Amino acid sequence: MKLVTPEQMQQLEAYTDRAGISYATMMELAGKALADCIRSRARQSTTALFLAGTGNNGGDCYVAAHYRKLAGWDVQVLAPFGAPR
């Protein structure tokens, strides 16, 4: 696994956007991947609580919650510092 700094991630996202994959699509893909990961790791559960921050990862939480909700899960999203920007 490679770790990147926030600045490096911004550069990678900007490059990806210029290559034709929009920020909205990146968020959708990240949120879907998160939802799939949660499903595979929480096989016995149908309940999820998402704690969303104010950055882009907070937006990913909302997408993941949406996919778990579509799958019939009971989901809640808490955003203690406000909605993502």
Tens digit of each residue's pLDDT (9 = 90 or more) over 33-45: 999 999 999 988 8
* Contact between residue 65 and residue 75 where contact means Cβ atoms under 8 Å apart: yes
pLDDT bracket for residue 16 (50, 70, 90)? very high
* Contact between residue 64 and residue 34 where contact means Cβ atoms under 8 Å apart: yes
pLDDT bracket for residue 51 (50, 70, 90)? very high
Task: Render pLDDT for 55-67 as a digit per residue (tens, 0 to 9).
Answer: 888 999 999 999 9
pTM: 0.86
Tell me the C-alpha to C-alpha distance, in Å, between residue 42 and each of 1, 34, 48, 50, 78.
22, 12, 9, 14, 19
* Contact between residue 72 and residue 44 where contact means Cβ atoms under 8 Å apart: no
